[in-house]
Amino acid sequence: MDQPVLKDDRPIIVALGNSLTAGHGLPESESYPSQLQLLLDARGYRYKVINAGVSGDTTAQGLNRMQIVIDYNPAVVIVELGPNDGLRGMPIENTRANLGEIIEKCQGAGAKVVLAGMTLPPNYTRSYIQSFERIYMDLARQYQVMLIPFFLEGVATRQELNLDDGIHPNAAGYKIVAENVLKVLSPMLKK
């Protein structure tokens, strides 16, 4: 006899991002969205986290995937995009415009937004790095969305919390990332 399919009516949190969201180099179960799901469950929050991370994605590619995100009818979208734009030296205004449009599409669909701030390695000019970092603060203020000041806070540059590439967190690093995300996210959630 077939088991009945149970309808999952939990509100959706979509984690939209690049390899840092996808969990590059690790099993899906160790990515930050999976770690976030475990934290939410343990703390009594009834939400379902969807990992919409694609390794290598730029803000333009994330923007092109927005209909897929909207089709989930998310309550919250965590937007972690921009580092690949910066690493490729793309114009700051393009990154800002793409992230702004992503936020507008999320808000237009009734979703709350959490924006994940990022920085770049020190081999870029200081003015480019500062302009890049300012994108996130400016957009959070403009659209009145929650901001994670630095997505990899407490993880970046710590060898024991990253894969050998020194860029992507390992499972222990993603646990810290998930905790950091939850600190900003939890005031938006209902139990």
Q: Are 115 and 82 in contact (CB under 8 A)?
A: no
Q: Could you tell me the pLDDT band of residue 191, with boundaries at 50, 70 and 90? A: confident
13 φ/ψ angles, rounded to the nearest 5 degrees: -115, 120
For residue 86, being part of any structural domain is answered with yes
For residue 110, being part of any structural domain is answered with yes
Q: What is the pLDDT of residues 144-182, one digit of tens each?
A: 999 999 999 999 999 999 999 999 999 999 999 999 999
Q: Could you tell me the pLDDT band of residue 190, with boundaries at 50, 70 and 90? A: confident
DSSP state of 162: B
Query: Closest Cα to residue 144, out of 184, 186, 115, 180?
Result: 115
Residue 27, domain extent: 12-188
For residue 99, being part of any structural domain is answered with yes
Task: Give the model's pLDDT for residue 4.
Answer: 61
The structure's pTM equals 0.94
One-character DSSP codes across 82-138: -HHHHHTT--HHHHHHHHHHHHHHHHHTT-EEEEE-----TTS-HHHHHHHHHHHHH
Name the residues annotated as catalytic. Answer: 19, 165, 168
Task: Give the model's pLDDT for residue 119.
Answer: 94
Q: State the chain's mean pLDDT as an integer.
A: 95
Task: Give the model's pLDDT for residue 78.
Answer: 98
Instruction: Provide the domain count of the chain.
Output: 1
Share of the chain above pLDDT 70, in %: 97
Q: How far apart are CA 98 and CA 95, in angstroms?
A: 5
CATH number, domain with residue 90 = 3.40.50.1110
For residue 105, being part of any structural domain is answered with yes
For residue 2, being part of any structural domain is answered with no
Instruction: List the beta bridge partners of residue 83.
Output: none
